[in-house]
Amino acid sequence: MREALQAQQASFQQFGGMVEGITRNLAPQPGSTVVVSGGTATTVPPAGSTGTPANHRVLVCQSCRTENSDTDRHCRQCGKSL
């Protein structure tokens, strides 16, 4: 019984390590674009950056998922209104 519990605990520890690794890899990488609800997106600043985060904003077209400048009124790809 004790051996079975130890084996189960080892399995849980291994699973916990896998989940931790996956979660760490899901964090946005510096320079990547993060899309939030409403179609807006921001760029993640490099680590240790003292500048303002997200100087670069884009709008993601709800029809074709193309990234457009936040100053665009219509999608560059399909022409739909943003």
pLDDT band for position 46 (cuts 50, 70, 90): low
* Interval 24-35: pLDDT, tens: 766 666 666 666
pLDDT at 17 over 60: yes
Instruction: Kindly tell me the burial class for residue 35, based on how many C-beta atoms sit within 10 Å of its own C-beta (0-12, 13-18, 19 or more).
Output: middle
Percent of the chain exceeding pLDDT 90 equals 11
Residue that has been written with the tokens 């699973």 in this structure: 15
The token pair that represents 58 in the structure block: 């884009």
The answer on pLDDT for 49 being more than 60 is no
Spell out where 1-82 has E strands.
33-35, 40-43, 57-60, 67-69
